[in-house]
Structures are given as structure tokens and as C-alpha cells.
Structure 1
Amino acid sequence: MKVLVTGGAGFIGSHVVDRLVEEGHDVVVVDNLSTGKRKNVNRAANLYKLDIQSSRLERVFRNERPNIVIHLAAQVSVRNSVADPVFDAQVNILGTMNVVHQAVQHGARKVVFSSSGGAIYGEQDMFPAPESHPTNPLSPYGISKLCGEHYLSYFQRTSGIQAVSLRYANVYGPRQDPEGEAGVVAIFIQKMLNNEQPIINGNGRQTRDFVFVDDVAEANLAAMGQETQGVYNVGTGVETSINELFRLLASLTGATSKEVHGPAKKGEQLRSLVDPAKIRQALGWEMRVDLPDGLKRTVAFFREKMS
């Protein structure tokens, strides 16, 4: 099967591409390499260096004719979306529309869209949040992801293309970028290994549902099934505070850093926890890598990278 992966040079996308190649699929990657890295792309995949907003995307779809599109390319930082909501909308709304429109026009069977469980639900009324939870995003990023889901639903109703939206919890793991403002695990690890002082935003009691990137890749492959459609949370259902995360990483890295707190960031919710029951029951997906094991693997990756 031919699968086109947008953002396939990025953190999550490159892991998805690796699994697709392992399963014997013909993989095409579209990535502008603004944050993704060419070295992340599996050598068996065909890379187009291209922005998802580009009119040239039509040519890629016309030439490649993918059966399935896995759409991961995005502006992924909540804080950057607050600072520049126009850019966030250009990438996450207009870019997504372009990808899905081309998929429809060129006969793709399905689009699997990477959405956001944390950012879409906003401050939750129940914990963990099921897919039926009200959507009240607190940031432009959350709004743009929700908008992407709505456009995908529209194209499903009007064209018949199959649509799956995967609402990720907080994804972490090897290849995550520690230089940006997204990805607290990577940021903390790099600073600790460099004997620098990590800063905890706010009081550190805010919680997240941390899901390992390999498990997220498996969720994407599960979503490719013939009849799979709809919205699915991808998370662990386990809540971890940033203070607790700091202590776990300090232990794994051997860092002696103290817990230093800075101001809270705008647009960040206090608690985020998604319920993965639906994807477990419908697709047989479940978390296989718990947080202690995932953090251990991630620290090992960064140690090797920095050595």
C-alpha cells in the first residue's frame, strides 16, 4: 500500500514512517524541513521537500497517488500559536485543507489526522476526558486542530473519503526537539545532561498525560484499517505532574538541579488527561511503554546523541 506522510521528517512522523517501512508499505514523505530533519527520514521512503501550503502539493499527489494519507505536518507549539496565531492558522488550517483536498481529488481512501487531546478539550470537566468531552480550546493551536477535525469531517461527508482524527496526549521520546518550547521532556533532559538549570513553568502542579512516541506510531498504523473512522484519543489515562516528571528525570540523568519555578505560560491548561478506552476497544491499541520505561529510553537516546 502507498502511504503519504506529511511531516515525516519530524519527531512523530519519522517514527510513523519507520513503522510503515517495517510493515512493507511504499512510503512518500512531504516535509519542508523547517523543524524536521532529513536524517530522520527512513532511506526507503521517498522525500519531497515541500510545504503543505504549496500549490505544488497537487503534483505530488498526482504523481504518487497514495492510498492513505497520514497528516502530521503542523505548527505544534501552544506558546508559538499564542504569539503568532496567524501563522498557526496558515499552517494548521489552510495547510490541512490543502492536504485533505488533494487527497480527495486524487483518490486516496483515507486520511489519518494528527489532532490534540490536551489542547482541544481545554480545562476538563472530567478526568480522564473521553472523546465526547466538550471541546473548549484555550489556545489558537487547540482551535486550529479542532478546525482541522471539522474540515476532515466535512470532506468525509461530502466526498466519502474515510477520516480518522487521533487526539494525542503529550507525546515524548527519541528525536523530540529540545530547542523549541514544545516538548518538556526533551527540554528537561537536554538541560540536565548539560548541567544546566531547567525551569518549571508555574507551580509545577499542572499535570499531563505522557504517551511514548512508539505507541503513537502504532496508533497511526492501527487507524489505517479498512473500516476505521472517527475520533480517537491516544494516551495513557495516567496523570503526571511536571514536578513529578522533573524528579523522575533528575533521577535518571543523575542531575543535581533544584526545582526552580518560573512564571506560568499563557494558553497552558492546568490538567490534561485523556481516556484511551475507545481506541483500545475498537482498534485493539493500548499503551505498551509506561512512563518510567519511556523516560529511560529517551534519556539513553539523548545521552548517545550528546556523546
Structure 2
Amino acid sequence: MKKVLIIGGNGFIGANLARYLSKEYKVYSFDIQNPKEKNPNVEYVEGDFFDDEILENAIQDKDIVIHSLSTVNPGNSNKRFMQGYSRDFVQSAHLFDLCAQKNIKVIFLSSGGTVYGIQEEQPIKESSLANPINHYGSVKLCIETVLKTFNKQSHSNMIIARISNPYGPGQDFNKGVGFIDAALKKTLNHEQIEIWGDGSVVRDYIYIEDVCEMIGSLINYEGNEEVFNVSSNQGISLNDVISKMKEYGLEPDVVYKDARSVDVAKVVLDNHKIESIHECKIRSFEEGLKLYIDYLKNTSF
């Protein structure tokens, strides 16, 4: 049984991945502290990603390392950008070096929503020139570039997964990302939803279970492709999200604020490459939204 280490395993994507992958692999979740609720099928490793000795011990004897950790997000990265470059970027390079030396496969979870930036051609293909407009996307792109260099120089086995806009159980919009999560939770709590701009911003929303299935398909991938979009290939505007919520019987209270400079008008990612190796059917936006609404109605949040 392959051993998979998820760095940032307590986060939204990391925790869902640990649950999903533990059905088939021996999964280790590595994070600064253990979660309050543990999955009995996952082994938890408590430690600091930025401690070189602890990190090296954590990856020992692992077959795959999934790098899902980030200390900045799109909303705060323009203020905390040096943290992203001096810590996330530098330590990711160190991680790649360790994994290349030990012949460990790496899957780096990047950000398709911010790395591409402003693009005229939609949906955006992996071959498009990345053009981030905020520091979060720039940090991710810097990490990607180092990964690619290791692949060239060390013939290492590292893959980049550019994830669009995931949503679903386990997300917490208070950490700086997740419009659908915020819109649903605020509506169910009878709170007002703030939309920056006129609501025409379009994103590629993908249900978290689909994200897990797609990343899972990369574990045994042995081809030469380095970059995969993990996405739905479908564009949904903020106003579309509100309209769909109303169709499902919710009553969102929306207030529109001034647009933000960090928000690209439209980002939809082409997913044909990942679909060529991914065998599961992707849920439609309507299916995913309904699943998450039903989940939240039966969950304390």
C-alpha cells in the first residue's frame, strides 16, 4: 500500500483529501497541530513545515507527498506578501530538494484561480502564459517554477495541480476564501452577503469531492505532463450563485460594494487534460450546490 503524506492536512482541501485517499492508501496528515476530530483511517503527524529536521523526518519512507500548505491567501497576500515569498516559497523549494533526493513523487496544489490572472481566451488551458495580478498567485507561480526546474535538473517526478474554486464540507470562508461557503452560511444564519463589484465576476466552482477524485487520479499518473487544471470547465458568476440559491428555497440578502483590484473579472479553467485520466463524472454546479446546502442544513457551523 502506497504511503501518502499530505502537508497541510488539516486544511479544507487537505482534510478532504486525507479522508478520500485513506480508502485506498496509507495516509499521513502533516500539520502544525492535530485536528479536534480525527479520522480513524488517517495517521496524524504534528509538526512545523518550516522546521527542516521535522520536515525531513515527516517525508521519510513516503511514496507521495501532496503539498497543500499556504500561510497566505488571495485576500491578505498583498499585505503579507513577504511572508509568502520568504517562508512558503523558500521552504517549498527545500521540500522539492528533499523529495528529489529521495525519489518521492510530489503533487503541488497550486491556484488556478490566481496563477493565470487576466486571460482573453476562456476556458484557460494549462499552456496559457500565467499572469497573476496578486501576490498569492505570484507566490504559487514561483513555487511552480522551482518545481519544474527540479524536474528538468533532477529528473524528479513532480506534478502541479492548478485548482479552480473548490467549495463544500469543511470550508471556512473566515480564512479568506470561499464565496459559496460565505453566501450559504450567511444566508442560513440570516446575515447579509457582501459582493465586491456588480456580481458579474465569473469563477470556475468545483465541488470538493470532485477535487479529491481528480487529485487522486494523479497519484498513479506516469506520463510526461507537469501541469493539470483541476476544474469544472464551467463559468458561474456571483449573481448566478445567488440565483441558484433562490431556486433552492433560500433567501439571500445581498449588498453590493466597490470592486476590488485583486479580483480578475473571469477565470474558467479548461479541464480536458485531467479528464483524460480521471474516470469519475464531475458533478454539475447545481448538484454540488444542492449537496452542500443539504449538508449545512444538517450540520452545526
TM-score range, shorter chain: over 0.9
Match of 1:51 among 40, 48, 52: 48
AA aligned to 1:123 is: I
Contact 1:173–1:212 (CA<8 Å) still a contact in 2?
A: yes
Query: Larger deviation: 53-62 or 6-15?
Result: 53-62
Name the structure 1 match of 2:243: 247
Contact 2:232–2:282 (CA<8 Å) still a contact in 1?
A: no
Name the structure 2 match of 1:6: 7
Contact 1:115–1:145 (CA<8 Å) still a contact in 2?
A: yes
Contact 1:170–1:211 (CA<8 Å) still a contact in 2?
A: yes
Match of 1:300 among 279, 283, 294: 294
Alignment pair present for 1:174 and 2:172: no
Give me the identity figure in percent.
29
Pairing of 1:28-39 with structure 2 (within 5 A): 28-33=28-33, 38-39=35-36
AA aligned to 1:299 is: I
Task: Rate the CA distance shift 1:40–1:264 in 2: closer, same or farther, 3 A.
Answer: farther
Match of 2:78 among 75, 78, 82: 82
Distance in structure 2 (CA, Å) of the matches to 1:18 and 1:138: 33
Distance in structure 2 (CA, Å) of the matches to 1:22 and 1:294: 22
Distance in structure 2 (CA, Å) of the matches to 1:98 and 1:253: 49
Match of 1:103 among 99, 104, 116: 99
Pairing of 1:11-26 with structure 2 (within 5 A): 11-23=12-24, 25-26=25-26
Distance in structure 1 (CA, Å) of the matches to 2:252 and 2:23: 40
| Secondary structure, counterpart of 1:88 in structure 2 | helix
| Secondary structure, counterpart of 1:187 in structure 2 | helix
Alignment pair present for 1:217 and 2:212: yes
TM-score, normalised on structure 1?
Answer: 0.91
User: How far 1:286 sits from its partner (Å)?
Assistant: 5.8
| Cα deviation 1:230-271 (Å, max 9, x = unaligned) | 1011111111110111222244362252x3101222311010
Name the structure 2 match of 1:114: 109
| Cα deviation 1:43-77 (Å, max 9, x = unaligned) | 22221222322222112223xx1011111111352
Contact 2:213–2:278 (CA<8 Å) still a contact in 1?
A: no
TM-score, normalised on structure 2?
Answer: 0.93
Pairing of 1:140-155 with structure 2 (within 5 A): 140-155=135-150
**Structure 1 segments unaligned to the other structure (5+ residues):** none
Task: Rate the CA distance shift 1:285–1:76 in 2: closer, same or farther, 3 A.
Answer: farther
| Secondary structure, counterpart of 1:179 in structure 2 | helix
Match of 1:126 among 121, 130, 138: 121
| Secondary structure, counterpart of 2:222 in structure 1 | coil
Match of 2:202 among 179, 197, 207: 207
Task: Rate the CA distance shift 1:303–1:296 in 2: closer, same or farther, 3 A.
Answer: same
